[in-house]
Structure 1
């Protein structure tokens, strides 16, 4: 057999074996590798390259070496799952770099980080002042996680006392100008409904690059023509405004009428309307 054919076959087999081993070891072998996993990845790559090109090496011995490394790596991962001490030994612990707005210089030197590198990582977390950082820690993976002080954290609906509805995965009902029937059926809608929504927007399915429907039935489109802009759905905003207007009208009627019976009725209706608004607000303000 010519050498080039043998090299090609050995390389193909080595790639298949390496792919299988990587699948067995899991996704962490590809991203966020620990120190040991990094060493394992380099070693496996070196072995595969060696058995692919060195024709004097027995192919089965190379595959045995790859298998031994894979089994050894799986054994280490099993020990890490069972023992906190083993996890700390192989992956190390996180190190606090900033606490209460104060840089811990000794820990910074321990991790061999310069001030410039620390500031660069802080800026990536949108923290431009050390004084704004409540807590910063470097993880075993090398990532630096930052907790800003409470007054510097971004506002959320929870801070404002507003409850919001759960956000679920939207369904792509139009893709590359073609209507997708399966996602439509998943959310209980039909092509007739979709065509009606397209007519409201004044576009056809062929002009839509991507169309999505959220859990609450609102339809969003992205057109092929980037110069054209489609208005965002306003149904929920309009509904919320209508409910608030009804509440205000009921309260006004209750204040202006001189009929005591009617006044009590309007006041009761206003209270019920407030309850309804409170219940639907999380959905309308998701």
Structure 2
């Protein structure tokens, strides 16, 4: 058999084998690796490279070696799920770099990290001053987890005692000018609704690069022509404005009327509308 045909066959066989072994091992193999997985991955790649290029004449020996290393990795993952001590041995433990706002230099030396490398890791978390950090730990997979000091943490709606609506995953209902029927059904919308919304925006389906339905059931689009300005959805702001106007009108009517019964009715309904506004504002103001 000519060498080039042999190379093609070997490449196809080992590519297929590596693909299926990686599928068996799971997505973990293409994410951040532990030390054991890193060593195993390098070894498997080296075996495959040698077997493909013909340095290993017996192709089946190379295949057997890849399967053995893959199964060893799979076994290690299974044992790590069942035993914390084994997991700590294979994956290692986190190392605290900052505690109570102070950098632990001994732990940095232990992990062979410089302060520049620590700063670089923190910048990946959008933290630019070490002094802002209360606690930071180097995770076993090389990433850093950091807790800012309380005064440096961003305010949340909970801190302000604000009620906010629950967010749902936006559904992409249009992609490259084509309607995605499954996503449209997941959003609880029909093609007729979608066509009506596009008419409001004065767009045709062919003009839309991507269209999404958000948590509030509103359609937002990005079109092919970036110079064109697409009007933003206005239903919620308009509804909120209408409710506020209604409440203000009721208060004015209660002040203008001389009829006590009518005045009480207007005041009662103004109060009810105001309560409704207070409840709906988080949903309609964003």
Q: Deviations over 1:14-69 (max 9, x none)?
A: 11111111111111111111000001100111111122223653222222211211
Name the stretch that deviates more: 61-70 or 267-276: 267-276
* TM-score (structure 1 length as normaliser): 0.90
- The answer for the alignment partner of 1:57 in structure 2 is 57
8 Å contact kept, 1:164–1:285: no
| Residue 181 (structure 1) shift | 4.2
**Alpha-carbon deviations, 1:91-142, whole Å to 9, x = none?**
1111111123211111111111111111122222222222211211111111
Which residue of structure 1 lines up, in the alignment, with residue 270 of structure 2?
A: 270
> 2:138: which partner in 1?
138
Please give the alpha-carbon distance, in whole angstroms, between the structure 2 residues aligned to 1:185 and 1:116: 50
Match of residue 15 from structure 2 = 15
Question: CA 1:264–1:211 in structure 2 vs 1: closer, same or farther (change >3 Å)?
Answer: same
- Structure 2, unmatched stretches of 5+, are none
Q: Does 1:83 align with 2:80?
A: no
Matches within 5 A, 1:92-131: 92-131=92-131
Residues 173, 181 of structure 2: 8 Å contact kept: yes
Give the 3-state SS of the residue equivalent to 2:57 in structure 1: coil
Report the secondary structure of 1:96's partner residue.
Answer: strand
Q: Tell me the distance in 2 between the aligned counterparts of 1:255 and 1:151.
A: 47
Aligned-residue offset at 1:259: 4.1
- Alpha-carbon distance in structure 2 between the residues aligned to 1:250 and 1:240: 16
Measure, in 2, the Cα distance between the counterparts of 1:94 and 1:80.
16
Gaps of 5+ in 1: none
Please tell me whether residue 28 in structure 1 is matched to residue 46 in structure 2. no
Per-residue CA deviations over 1:191-210 (Å, capped at 9, x if unaligned) read 33333322222222222211
Whole-angstrom distance in 1 between the partners of 2:68 and 2:180:
48
TM-superposed deviation, 1:255: 5.3
Counterpart mapping for 1:178-189 below 5 A? 178-189=178-189
- Alpha-carbon distance between aligned partners in 1 of 2:96 and 2:247, rounded to the nearest angstrom: 53
How far apart are 1:224 and its partner, in Å? 0.8
Equivalents in 2 of 1:142, 1:182: separation in Å? 39
Structure with the greater relative contact order (CA < 8 A, sep ≥ 6): 1 or 2? 1
Q: How far apart, in 2, do the equivalents of 1:205 and 1:56 lie?
A: 56
Q: Which moved more, 1:226-235 or 1:244-253?
A: 244-253
Matches within 5 A, 1:197-216: 197-216=197-216
- Cα RMSD of the aligned pairs, angstroms, is 2.2
Q: CA separation in 1, counterparts of 2:82 and 2:188?
A: 46
Matches of 2:118 and 2:158, distance apart in 1: 31
TM-score, length-scaled by structure 2: 0.90
Q: Is the 8 A contact 1:164 1:281 kept in 2?
A: no
Q: Is the 8 A contact 1:163 1:281 kept in 2?
A: no
